[in-house]
Structure 1
Amino acid sequence: MKTIIEPFKIKMVEPLKLTTVEQREQALRKAHFNLFQIPAEDVIIDLLTDSGTSAMSADQWAGMIRGDESYAGARSWFHFENVLRDLTGMAHILPTHQGRASERILFELTGGPGKVIPSNNHFDTTRANIEHSGARAVDLVIAEGTDPRNRHPFKGNIDVAKLESLIEEIGSERIPLCMATVTNNSGGGQPVSLANLRAVREVCHRHGIPLFLDACRFAENAALIQQREPGQSGRSARAIAREMFDLADGATISAKKDGLVNIGGVLLMRNDALALRANDLLILTEGFVTYGGLAGRDLEAMAQGFVEVLDEDYLQYRLRSVAYLGEHLLAAGIPIVEPPGGHAIYIDAASFCTHIPPRHFPGQALVCALYRHAGIRGVEIGSVMFHSVDPDTGETVHPPMELVRLALPRRVYTQSHIDYTVEAMIELAAQRDSIRGLRIVESPPTLRHFTAKFTEID
């Protein structure tokens, strides 16, 4: 059948507030053209992020009722630990309140001045936690990963030759770990192949460098491997995911993505000495090692979510829903990062708004225009989120792509919501020349996209 059928039925609904253009214009100006500052009730379709925005299942809600809220050694902790150990094979499983807490602990222990952390592409909080430690984050994605039109099936792959060159240039002793982000969020939600993970592991272990996964979307990456990598179509997504984890020495996971929950994270490690230090830091900043800043009910919901996310019917629906949005935008001439990835469609804002230069933030201008026109909230992934300054010249360095991400929350929106989004983008494309660039009037020193204030340029 061509029709996408959700492998679930709806038991509870939440009303949407259908705002007018005038109301949205007022909200946009009050928020200083930063969609993070717009109240959620003023958003019709919220595609800002897929993080923590999933709809939970009946079994997850039932698990929350069963949650054991004991401080130490709760029944819910042992359930969670067993599920994660079976899924990943990791020796040490530390619960945290979300992924950035896992990153903070990891890089406080392994980062520091003079250290370098390579990856395909670090996402925003990962990069910020690395740099907060004094270390330097380096992106080594393959060249195809920076070309929106290139349809390479694994545009999230790490460039192995560049990794070898970096190690040769600075020495392995300055690289405490290498990180592979699966799927590669900053580069368009593109997957990393098993072949690439094997090659990266070989290089890392030859030089004594641990390999970690940023595994927020491990299930979607596994499903895309199943679809696209030769020799993998006959394997289950669960088996592929386990091989991904078996190739790694540790991982950080925001369970708010492929854990199908609204809060929660995990830090996974094999190294006993590193895990002991991480336990001490976890107790200091998050909570005891068997709850990590979470309630027992949260651990139960995560445990069930990590089981449900690898259901083959769910994954087929999930990837097909994202592809449906991408295919309809492409058919209408809307430039996107191709091929569609696992959790979002990324509009090529530089190609969509050719009249707006990077210094006037075409991605941010486009997310504002889409909200104003149709009440749809996306997020900029470009010169606002990933600006940097050349330490030698002091000049602003713009990222290779100016993107707008439309992230689909899991099990939340129906096909008609996606059709509305397509219709809105087509209408906006017809008036794209009227979209105005922006300039920043106030900005924090780090993670500026969350709180920066903008004004439109006449």
Structure 2
Amino acid sequence: MKTIIEPFKIKSVEPIRFTTKEERKEILKNAGYNPFLIHADDVLIDLLTDSGTSAMSSEQWSGIMKGDESYAGAKSFYRFESAVKKITGDKFIIPTHQGRAAEKILFSVIGGKGKYFAANTFFDTTRANIEFTGAEAFDLLNEIGKHPEIRAPFKGDMDVDALESFIKKYGRENIPLVVLTVTNNSGGGQPVSMKNIREVSAICKKNNIPLFLDACRFAENAYFIKLREEGYQNKSVLEICQEMFSYADGSTMSAKKDALVNIGGWLSLNDEELAMKCRNLLIVTEGFVTYGGLAGRDLEAIAQGLEEVVDEHYLQYRIRSIEYLGEKLISNGIPIIEPPGGHAIYIDAKRFAPHIPVDQFPGQSVTCAIYEEGGIRACEIGSVMFGKYDKNGKLIPAMMELVRLAIPRRVYTQSHIDYVAEVIIEVFKNRDKLKGFEIVYEAPMLRHFTAKFREIN
């Protein structure tokens, strides 16, 4: 059949509140034109993030009741550990309360001034945790990934020539780690090919530099490999996942994405000495080594989610539902990163609102307009999130100016997505009326979470 249906039935529902456009104008103003500061009750459809916003399955809720809350050595930890090892093959599994906690521990141990890290593209918390130690983070995205309008199967790949040059420039002894983000979130949710993972791994091994996966959306990446890369059509998603991790020396993971849970994460490693250092820091900051800031019930839910996420009926529905929204927007002339990625649609704000200069944050403007028009909360991924200032205080813009519509897993129906498309199409029709913004308050790091803005008339 041509119709791809949700591979689940809805067993429980949550009401959502409707607001008027006039109410939303006032809500935006009171929130300093920052969607992060809007109360969730005032959001009709929430596409701010796909992190921790999934609907859990009946089996996961059953696992919640079976959670072993023993402080040390809980049986729920060993189920969690076994599930992570089955996918990653890594020797040492350290639970954390979410992905950025794993990043904080890892980079606190191996980072510091005079250290340099490379990735296809670092996401916001990863970059912040690196820079917090005094180290520097560099994005080495392949050239085609920098062009939203060009279609290619693996736009999340790292530029391997740039990686070789990076190692020569900074010296292998000053590079503690290379990271591949799968899928590439900041690059539009675009997948990384197995070929690229192998090539990056080979370069790292040659230079004795560990390779880690930022594995938040590992299953979605594996499904793209199955669909698009020669030689993988007849392999299971689990087999593809296992091969991906086999080329890496460890991973950081936000289980709030592809483990289909509301909280949790892990740090997985094969280096025993590094694992010991990370576990020591875990105990100081997160909790004992068999719970790491999580309740036993959370560990149970993650273990079950890891079984469900590699189901190909689920992944077919997941990827197709994202593609469905992308096709509706493209057919109405709305510029997005093409082809649609794994967990979100990314509107190209530069082409959506070309009259707004980069230093007036076109992505923030489009994001606010989408909320005002239809109560939909999205997220700017551009110069608000990634822009920096030079020594004269002038903005150094981000690589791209994007608006991310991140779709929570197993939460919204096709009619919700049709409504999202209708709202964005309406905003696009009136895009000439959009105004730029200036920042009136910003924190020194991760400013997008708490910044406040003013419209420029």
Structure-to-structure mapping, 1:391-402, within 5 angstroms = 395-402=394-401
Structure-to-structure mapping, 1:39-438, within 5 angstroms = 39-390=39-390, 395-438=394-437
CA distance, structure 1, for counterparts of residue 371 and residue 388 of structure 2: 27
CA distance, structure 2, for counterparts of residue 390 and residue 226 of structure 1: 43
CA distance, structure 2, for counterparts of residue 401 and residue 2 of structure 1: 35
TM-superposed CA distance for 1:396, in Å, is: 2.2
* Long gaps (5+) in structure 1: none
Partner of 2:456: 457
CA distance, structure 2, for counterparts of residue 344 and residue 315 of structure 1: 14
Can you list the C-alpha shifts for 1:353-379, whole angstroms capped at 9, x where unaligned? 011001000000001000000000000
Partner of 1:446: 445
CA distance, structure 2, for counterparts of residue 410 and residue 257 of structure 1: 8
TM-superposed CA distance for 1:3, in Å, is: 2.4
RMSD: 0.8
Secondary structure of the 1:384 match is helix
AA aligned opposite 1:415? Q
CA distance, structure 1, for counterparts of residue 9 and residue 330 of structure 2: 29
TM-superposed CA distance for 1:152, in Å, is: 1.4
CA distance, structure 1, for counterparts of residue 353 and residue 371 of structure 2: 16
AA aligned opposite 1:203? I
Secondary structure of the 1:77 match is helix
TM-superposed CA distance for 1:150, in Å, is: 1.3
CA distance, structure 1, for counterparts of residue 10 and residue 82 of structure 2: 30
CA distance, structure 2, for counterparts of residue 377 and residue 3 of structure 1: 28
Structure 1 pair 47–23 and aligned structure 2 pair: CA distance change class (3 A) = same
AA aligned opposite 1:303? A
CA distance, structure 1, for counterparts of residue 328 and residue 2 of structure 2: 14
TM-superposed CA distance for 1:86, in Å, is: 1.1
How many aligned positions are there? 457
CA distance, structure 2, for counterparts of residue 390 and residue 217 of structure 1: 33
TM-superposed CA distance for 1:390, in Å, is: 3.8
Can you list the C-alpha shifts for 1:374-402, whole angstroms capped at 9, x where unaligned? 000000000100011346x6542101210
CA distance, structure 2, for counterparts of residue 204 and residue 307 of structure 1: 30
CA distance, structure 1, for counterparts of residue 357 and residue 376 of structure 2: 23
TM-superposed CA distance for 1:2, in Å, is: 2.9
Secondary structure of the 1:101 match is helix
Deviating 4+ runs (over 2 angstroms): 1-4, 393-396
AA aligned opposite 1:250? G
Can you list the C-alpha shifts for 1:210-256, whole angstroms capped at 9, x where unaligned? 00000000000000111111111111111000011111001000000
CA distance, structure 1, for counterparts of residue 206 and residue 432 of structure 2: 53
With normalisation by structure 1, the TM-score equals 0.99
CA distance, structure 1, for counterparts of residue 297 and residue 167 of structure 2: 44
TM-superposed CA distance for 1:121, in Å, is: 0.4
CA distance, structure 1, for counterparts of residue 203 and residue 54 of structure 2: 37
CA distance, structure 2, for counterparts of residue 94 and residue 307 of structure 1: 19
Can you list the C-alpha shifts for 1:289-327, whole angstroms capped at 9, x where unaligned? 000000000000000011100001000000000000001
AA aligned opposite 1:152? A
Can you list the C-alpha shifts for 1:12-52, whole angstroms capped at 9, x where unaligned? 00001011101111111110100000000100000000000
CA distance, structure 1, for counterparts of residue 379 and residue 362 of structure 2: 12
Can you list the C-alpha shifts for 1:162-212, whole angstroms capped at 9, x where unaligned? 000011111100100100000000000000000000000000000000000
CA distance, structure 1, for counterparts of residue 456 and residue 3 of structure 2: 43
Partner of 2:4: 4
Secondary structure of the 2:95 match is strand
CA distance, structure 2, for counterparts of residue 89 and residue 218 of structure 1: 14
CA distance, structure 2, for counterparts of residue 397 and residue 150 of structure 1: 24
With normalisation by structure 2, the TM-score equals 0.99
AA aligned opposite 2:451? A
* Long gaps (5+) in structure 2: none
CA distance, structure 2, for counterparts of residue 304 and residue 326 of structure 1: 30
Secondary structure of the 1:266 match is strand
AA aligned opposite 2:404? R
Partner of 2:29: 29
Can you list the C-alpha shifts for 1:142-173, whole angstroms capped at 9, x where unaligned? 01111001111111100000000011111100
CA distance, structure 1, for counterparts of residue 425 and residue 390 of structure 2: 38
CA distance, structure 1, for counterparts of residue 225 and residue 396 of structure 2: 33
Secondary structure of the 1:52 match is coil
CA distance, structure 2, for counterparts of residue 70 and residue 101 of structure 1: 22
AA aligned opposite 2:456? I
CA distance, structure 1, for counterparts of residue 274 and residue 390 of structure 2: 33
CA distance, structure 2, for counterparts of residue 296 and residue 400 of structure 1: 41
Secondary structure of the 1:385 match is helix
Sequence identity of aligned pairs in percent? 61
TM-superposed CA distance for 1:88, in Å, is: 1.0
Secondary structure of the 1:369 match is helix
CA distance, structure 1, for counterparts of residue 432 and residue 33 of structure 2: 18
Structure 1 pair 230–175 and aligned structure 2 pair: CA distance change class (3 A) = same
